[in-house]
Structure 1
Amino acid sequence: MEPLQPAMMTPECLRQATLVLAEQDPDLGGIVARHGIPPMWGREPGFAALFHIILEQQVSQASALTLFRRVGADMGGVTPERVRDQGVAGLRALGLTRQKAHYCDALARAVLDGILDLEALQRAPDERGRQRLLALPGIGPWSVDVYYLMALKRPDVWPQGDLALAIALSSAKSLPVRPDRNAQLELAQAWAPWRSVAARILWMHYLAEQGKYPLPATEPASQ
């Protein structure tokens, strides 16, 4: 029996949905047979999660996490007030690129000015919340998808254009070329309404292919 889709993914729902996908798709089933149920990777919703996601754009997860931790330690925490107080110049001095410093500063000001209410975002219909995030500079579809999948734990999100998922798909499906964003979305349609679960299975496969799974990490290697 297929599990009922909740508004927020739970560990038990992840387990049940993984078994459903493994039965429906032999390629995913092979990954699950080798490695088991994927971890319940996640992040606490809020400003720090979005700040971290901006840092991850176009760089490895490891380098983004190192920078996120260093910046957090230097500022005494990643909060809208501390980011605003740093300003673009201060963020650049802490190691952010000029572009990402502008994005993070704009995010902090949007929260502090009441333009973006992150608590209300969790309760808002997904499409309305996504549009609010997409209206901010530096927050594109991939960033919104990762926030909804990892922080808000929505069960049916596919991170558009994720490089690790493209590599994992190529390997798992023996594709002749690495799928682009549109090809990924088309392939992922088969896994609705559990695309977030399929993404976790494929992230697990990607890490295993890199010799980095199992590991005590809290997040997959995206982008």
Structure 2
Amino acid sequence: MRHSTFFFLALIAAIVQAVPAADLTKPPAGTCTISAVAVDAPDVDTDGSGCRAGTVGVAFSSDNSLMTILFDDFKAAIGPNAGSTKKRAFCRVNVTMASPGWAFDVSSVDFRGYVRIAQGVDASIVSRWKWIDSKGQDMKGKGNINKKLAGPFEDDFLLHKDGELSDNEASVCSKASARFQLSISASLSASGSSLSGLVQGDAANAQFGEVLNLGWKKC
């Protein structure tokens, strides 16, 4: 992972303000640690590329109000200049963390990237997040973001989505020992082989970035 990734993690955490749910609070700084970030092997998705180890960065902000996830070298391309880049990119990240005495829900997510597609090309971007318990079962409190674009289009984009919060305190607190999983996919399709399209991180640094605003419960 390039040094710029960690600089960008710190920058986003410093400038984006969290919007927690009204009945949730933020824990004291320093109580949350990330012990492991595991990604699927590149061949997990036979129709597209996955993530290579070391190309995903995850960090809490200093006050634990945000979790930032950056995807380095994640892009999809189609057309004569696509080269070895596939028309679909897919990555699934599992984050193992420790937050003694606390657990969080994702109150909202901000997701940014860049799309350049010609007329006749369509782009689809989807991101989903959830928790998985020790038995591998999905837990309450998930969410998703999706965007579809038709060419011609060229610009950075920003998506905002509120999270689907757990329905009670017990459900939130059950996440204290769970793994957090987030997936992202970008797909392109074209009406002709000569048409070009590209989906990647924003134009400033070529990285996809997701900022998750966290609402905490003391358990």
**TM-score category (smaller protein):** under 0.3
- Richer in helix (by share): 1
Given the two structures, how large is their TM-score scaled by the length of structure 1? Answer: 0.24
- Richer in strand (by share): 2
